[in-house]
């Protein structure tokens, strides 16, 4: 393994261009604060790339937007199914042009589970954002609860279009990313307890910072790892920390076990 250097000392475009010119075969690894990217070369061509959920051309183009990372290279020949379709020259040209923007988009929307709400708005002197029909359809369903997957279903637009619009509107100051989801540990309530979900009051305080739930939270959705869900009235008290106390009937209906983690979010 050879250490090439760090991003900032060397440019990704220069490394890729050098490997192409010298017809390198092997694995380029870029390790940064948010994870690592793996780019496999064969005789100077990029044949395979992966970076988190990104694969192929997207993983290579995203790399051009990284601000930090250590680059290392291991010469080796290993057969892998190719997933990169563009030539090195095309990737460099496109990466230099849009790589930084693509990386910001991927950082802002790493998965379909992220949630957005209306922001306070851009400064008065900010450039006007053109509200197209598609952008307006997205804005109408952004509520601080729906994640990107649910926004896509609600406005009936392609996922990539929704991600693009959410990113653009966040950069324009119209939307902001929020974190309503919590991973909590299931505890069963007593046999004669009220039919509510009990959550620590500190979590309610965090939820009340969200624009939609400033007046308070009345209901929560509980979702198991298997995808089963239930909506319950919510009650809040001190000392629960990351436990959620659920009625025994709900624990049974969702197929849960004591101590199992569930995803919880406010819905009303």
Q: What is the pLDDT of residue 54?
A: 94
Give the mean model confidence (pLDDT) for residues 198-217. Answer: 94
> In this predicted structure, what is the pLDDT of residue 43?
94
- Please tell me the CATH code under which domain 115-178 is placed: 1.10.10.10
Band (pLDDT 50/70/90 cuts) for residue 87 is very high
- Averaged pLDDT, 59-77: 94
What percent of the chain shows pLDDT beyond 90?
84
> Is the pLDDT assigned to residue 192 strictly greater than 90?
no
pLDDT category at 51 given cuts 50, 70, 90 is very high
Residue 146 has a pLDDT of: 94
Phi/psi at 176 (5° precision) = -140, 145
Q: Is the pLDDT of residue 190 over 80?
A: no
Q: What is the 3-state secondary structure (H, E, C) of the chain?
A: CEEEEEECCECHHHHHHHHHHCCCCEEEEEEECCEEEEEEEECCEEEEEEECCEEHHHHHHHHCCCCCCEEEEEECCCCCCCCCCCCHHHHHHHHHHHHHHHHHHHHHCCCCCCEEEECCCCCCCCCCCCCCHHHHHHHHHCCCCCEHHHHHHHHCCCHHHHHHHHHHHHHCCCEEEECCCEEEEEEECCCCCCCCEEEEHHHHHHHCCCHHHCCCCCEEEEECCCCCEEEEEEEEECCCCCEEEECHHHHHHCCCCCCCEEEEEECC
Q: What average pLDDT is seen over the chain?
A: 93
Instruction: Record the tokens describing residue 36, joined without a space.
Output: 């690592």
Residues 244-266 have pLDDT tens digits of 999 998 999 999 999 999 999 99
Q: What is the mean pLDDT of residues 198-203?
A: 95
Hey, what CATH topology would domain 182-266 get? Barwin-like endoglucanases (2.40.40)
Ranges of each domain in the chain: 2-97, 115-178, 182-266
Q: Say if residue 151's pLDDT is above 90.
A: yes
Query: What is the model's pLDDT at position 262?
Result: 96
Give 82's Cβ-side CA count (13 Å radius): 9
Q: How confident is the model at residue 193 (pLDDT cuts 50, 70, 90)?
A: low
Residue pLDDT, tens place only, 5-19: 889 888 999 999 999
Looking up tokens 């793996």, which residue turns up? 38
- 136-164: average pLDDT: 95
């Amino acid at each position: 393994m050879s250490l090439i250097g760090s991003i900032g000392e060397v440019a990704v475009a220069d490394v890729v261009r050098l490997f192409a010119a010298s017809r390198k075969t092997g694995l380029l690894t870029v390790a940064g604060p948010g994870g690592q990217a793996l780019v496999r070369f064969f005789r100077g061509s990029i044949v395979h790339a992966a970076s988190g959920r990104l694969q192929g051309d997207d993983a290579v183009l995203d790399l051009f937007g990284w601000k930090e990372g250590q680059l290392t290279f291991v010469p080796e020949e290993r057969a892998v199914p190719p997933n990169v379709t563009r030539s090195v020259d095309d990737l460099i040209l496109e990466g230099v042009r849009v790589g930084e923007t693509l990386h910001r988009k991927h950082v802002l929307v790493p998965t379909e589970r992220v949630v957005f709400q209306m922001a306070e708005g851009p400064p008065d002197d900010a450039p006007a954002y053109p509200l197209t029909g598609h952008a307006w359809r997205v804005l109408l369903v952004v509520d601080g609860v729906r994640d990107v997957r649910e926004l896509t279903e609600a406005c009936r637009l392609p996922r990539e279009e929704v991600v693009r619009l959410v990113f653009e509107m966040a950069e324009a100051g119209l939307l902001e990313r929020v974190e309503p989801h919590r991973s909590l540990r299931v505890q069963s309530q007593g046999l004669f307890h009220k039919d509510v979900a009990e959550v620590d009051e500190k979590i309610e305080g965090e939820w009340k910072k969200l624009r939609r739930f400033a007046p308070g939270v009345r209901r929560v959705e509980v979702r198991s790892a298997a995808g089963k869900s239930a909506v319950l009235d919510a009650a809040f008290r001190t000392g629960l920390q990351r436990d959620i106390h659920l009625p025994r009937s709900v624990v049974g209906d969702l197929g849960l076990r004591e101590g199992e983690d569930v995803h919880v979010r406010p819905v009303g």
